[in-house]
Amino acid sequence: MPETPDSDLDFTPEVSAETDIARLGHSSPPPAHEQTADEDADVVDWGRVAAMDEFKALVKAKAAFVVPATLFFVVYYFALPVLVGWFPELMEKRVGPVNLAYLFALSQFFMAWGVAFVYLRQASKFDDRQNAIIAKLDLAKGGKSK
Amino acid sequence: MNFLLAAAATNPPAAAGFQFTPALGMFLSFVLVTLGITYWSARKSTGASNYFAAGRGITAWQNGLAVAGDYMSAASFLGIAGMIAFKGYDGFMYSVGWLVAYLTVLLVVAEPLRNAGKYTMADVLAYRLSPRPVRAMASLSTLTVSTFYMIAQMVGAGALVKLLLPGVGYEAAVAGVGVLMIVYVVFGGMLATTWVQIIKAILLMSGSLFLSVLVLKHFDYSFAKFFEAVGKVPVAGPDGTIVHKDFLKPGLIFGLEVTKGWGPIDLISLGLALVFGTAGLPHVLVRFYTVPDAKTARLSVVWAMAIIGAFYIMTTFLGFGAATILTPANISVENMSAPLLAKALGGEIFFAFISAVAFATILAVVAGLTISASTSFAHDFYTNVLHHGRERGPGEEVRVARIAAFVVGAVAIFLAIKLQTINVAFLVGLAFAVAASANLPVIVLSLFWKRFNTSGACWGLGIGLLGSIALIVLSPSVMDPSGKGLINAVPWFPLKNPGIVSIPLGFLAAWLGTILSTDTTSQLKYDELTVRANTGLGAEKATAH
C-alpha cells in the first residue's frame, strides 16, 4: 500500500489536479487539449482581432442574417396563435382533407427546418471567413486554433 | 431494440397482480442496458471535463439524439398525445412551439455558448461580469429550474408506472426512478447520461413511428380516410348522448368561449416561454459543451430539430389515432392514450414496448436535469463562489458534483412523494417561464450589449426568477376557487402562462439594473468575449483519448 503523505510535512508541490481548474506545481504550460479558456487568455491579442476590418465585417454579416431570420420565425410562429385565436372562421376553411388551421400548424415544422437549412449554408460561409481571420493572425503557439 | 423485444417475448404474459408482465420485462431490460452503459462510462469519466462534458467528444448526430432525448419529456410524449386525443387540434398547437423554439437555440445561443463557456451557462456570464455574484444568481436560477422540472417529471413517473405496472406502488416507482437517475449521474457522469438519452431517443422515435404506421394502416394508408374520421370523433354530449365533433377545429382548449377571452393570450404567452425559454434551459445548454467545437454544436442542433420535428408531427397520428380508433370514451386516463392505442393496434407486447419507452423517456430527462443541477452547484457555486475558482485538492469539483447529484436526487424523491396528490403540471410551465425570463435575457445581453454589467445581470436574474414564480403563484394554476389548486381562492392573475409579462419584466430589470449602475469594468472584456464567441479562439478543446 502506498504511503499517504502527511500534507503538513510534505513540502513537495501538489500534483496537478485531474480537473483543469487548478494546475499547481507545473512550470511548463499544459498541453493544448488541457488548456482552459483562462490559460489561453494571453494567446490572442483580443483587442487586435476585434479591431480587424475582417472581424468587424464578419460580426456584421452574422447579425445581418440572424436578426432578420429571428424576426421572420417569431412573426411566422406567433401568427399561428393569433390567427387561430381571433380568426377561427378563417382557419376552419377546408383545404383538401384538412383545414387551414392544421395546414398552417404543419407548415411551422417545414418553416423551422427551412430556416435551419438556410442558416447551415450561411454559417459555413461564416466558418470560412472565421478561418481566414485566424490564419491571418499567424499565432505564435501554433495548433491553438487549428 | 430487437433484443428488447426478444427478451420480453420469452417472458410469458402474466394474468394479474405483481407478476412478470412483458412491460416489466422491458423495463428491466432497459434498466440493465443503461446500467451496463453506466459501468462502462464510469471507467472513462475521470477528470472534470470527462465527467461534466463527456470529454467534449460527442459527435453531431449523437448530440442531436441526446438533445432530443434530454428535451422530449413524458409530458410531450404521453401528455400531448392525450391532449390531442381528448381536445383535438389545440393539443397539436403545443407540439408546434416545442420545435420552433430550437431556432432560438440554433441562431442565438448554441455557438457562442460553446465557444466561450466551459461547463455551465454561467461561464459565459462570468466572462466579463463580476464572477461571484453572477455565478451565485445563475446557479440559483439553474437549481430552481431543474428542481421544478424534475419534481414534475417524477410525480408524472410515479403516476405513470402505477398505471403501466399494476402492483408497483407510487412510492416504489418514484424511488426507483430517482435511484436510477442518481446511479447514472453519480457514477457515469455526462457520458452515461448522454447514452441513456441517445437510447431513449431511438426507442421513442421507433416506437412512435411504428405506432403511427399502425394508425395509418388502420385507415388503409389513406390520409383522406384518416382525416375524415378525425372530422367526426364521437364524444359524450352534455346530456349523455353521443355527438360527433370535428377534432381538427381549433378552440377546445384555448378558444375564446372556453377561456372567457384569455385563451389566445395564454397561448401566445406559452409560446413566448417556449421560444425564449428553451434557449435558457440549463439541461439543454450543457449539452453543447459535450461536443468538440461550435460547428459541431450547430450541426447537433439541426440533428435535434430533425428528430424533434419528426416526433411532434407524429403526435398527430398518436393523438388523432387514439381519438378516432379508441374514442375518448374508451380511454380511462388522458395520459394513457398512446399506450392504450398501442395495445389496441399492436397487442400486449407492443403495449409493453411503448410503456418501456415512456419509462425510458422519464429517466433520460431526469438524468439530464440532475447532471445540469449538480454541475451548476459544484462548478458555479462551490468552486467559483465559495472558493474563488480554486480547487483545494485534485478532483474536488467532480467529487462535490457527485455529492450534489446524490442530494438533488434524494430531495427530488422526497418532494415527489410528498406532492403525490397535487397537480404539479404547472411546474413545467414554471421552469420554462424562469428560463425565458431570467436566464435568456442575461445570456443575450451579456453576449450582445457592451454596456451590460454585473448589476444588470443580477437584477435580470433575480427579477426574472421572482417575477415568474410570483405570477405563477397568483395564476389559475395555483389559485383555484374550486379547490383543485394549491390555494383555494380566485386567481389574481388571469393567465396560466406568465411569459408575456415576466419575459419583458426580466429584460426590463436587466436593462434598469445596468443603467442605474456606473460600473463600466464589464466593457473592458467585451472585445475578448466577442472575439471568442465569434471565432472559437481559445475555446475549450476535446480531451484526447
Q: In this structure, what C-alpha cell is assigned to residue B400?
A: 462535490
Residue ranges of B 371-390 with Cβ closer than 8 A to chain A: 383, 389-390
Alpha-carbon radius of gyration of chain B: 23
Higher pLDDT: B386 or B108? It is B108
Sign of CA pseudo-dihedral A62, A64, A67, A71: negative
In the prediction, which pLDDT does B87 show?
85
Q: Output helix, strand, coil percentages for chain A, rounded to the nearest 5.
A: 60, 5, 40
In the prediction, which pLDDT does B47 show?
80
Which H helix or E strand runs over B309?
helix B294-321
In the prediction, which pLDDT does B205 show?
94
- Residue A37's SS3 state is coil
- Residue B205's SS3 state is helix
Q: Chain A within 8 Å of B92 (Cβ-Cβ)?
A: yes
CA distance A59 to chain B (A): 7
**Residue B287 scores a pLDDT above 80:** yes
Cβ neighbours of B482 (radius 10 Å):
6
Find the CB nearest A102 among B103, B248, B528: B248
- Residue A119's SS3 state is helix
In the prediction, which pLDDT does B18 show?
54
In the prediction, which pLDDT does B16 show?
44
In the prediction, which pLDDT does A74 show?
95
Find the CB nearest B544 among A33, A80, A144: A33
Chosen CATH of B55-418 out of 3.30.910.20, 1.20.1730.10, 3.40.50.300, 1.10.260.40? 1.20.1730.10
Higher pLDDT: B4 or B129? It is B129
In B203-254, beta strands by DSSP E: 233-236, 242-245
* A120 CB-contact burial (10 Å; exposed 0-12 / middle 13-18 / buried 19+): middle
CA distances from A90 to A82, A110, B40, B195 (A): 12, 22, 57, 46
Chain A: residue whose CA lies nearest to B542: A33
Sign of CA pseudo-dihedral A23, A25, A27, A30: negative
pLDDT tens for B5-38 read 444 444 444 444 456 778 778 888 888 998 998 8
What does the pLDDT average to over B417-441? 83
CB-based contact B398:B378 (threshold 8 Å): yes
In the prediction, which pLDDT does A4 show?
54
pLDDT band at A103 (very low <50, low <70, confident <90, very high): very high
**Residue B55 scores a pLDDT above 60:** yes
What does the pLDDT average to over A58-85? 93
- Residue B491's SS3 state is coil
Q: In this structure, what C-alpha cell is assigned to residue A45?
A: 491579442
Q: How far apart are CA B53 and CA B357, in angstroms?
A: 26
Find the CB nearest A98 among B227, B298, B530: B227
pLDDT tens for B330-364 read 887 777 888 889 888 988 888 888 888 888 888 88
Residue ranges of B 188-227 with Cβ closer than 8 A to chain A: 223-224, 226-227
Q: Chain A within 8 Å of B537 (Cβ-Cβ)?
A: yes
Q: How far apart are CA A60 and CA B345, in angstroms?
A: 55
Contacts of B38 (CB under 8 A, 6+ apart): B183, B184, B187, B188, B192
Q: What phi and psi values does residue A60 have, to the nearest 5 degrees?
A: -65, -45
Query: In b/e form, how buried is each residue of B101-125, taking b as 16+ CB within 10 angstroms?
Result: bbbbbbbbbbbbbbbbbbbbbbbbb
| Choice among A44-53, A67-76, A114-123, B258-267 with the minimum mean pLDDT | B258-267
Q: Chain B within 8 Å of A135 (Cβ-Cβ)?
A: no
**Residue B172 scores a pLDDT above 70:** yes
Q: Which amino acid is at B358?
A: A
Q: How far apart are CA B114 and CA B101, in angstroms?
A: 19
Q: Please, which residues bridge with residue B242 across strands?
A: B236
Contacts of A1 (CB under 8 A, 6+ apart): none
CB-based contact B5:B207 (threshold 8 Å): no
What does the pLDDT average to over B179-191? 89
Average pLDDT value over all residues in chain B: 85
Percentage of chain B lying above the pLDDT 70 cut: 94
In the prediction, which pLDDT does A11 show?
56
In the prediction, which pLDDT does A10 show?
54
In the prediction, which pLDDT does A142 show?
45
Name chain A contacts of B306, Cβ cutoff 8 Å: 113
Asked whether the beta carbons of residue A33 and residue B102 sit closer than 8 angstroms, the reply is no
Q: How far apart are CA B106 and CA A120, in angstroms?
A: 10
Q: Chain A within 8 Å of B268 (Cβ-Cβ)?
A: yes
In the prediction, which pLDDT does B64 show?
94
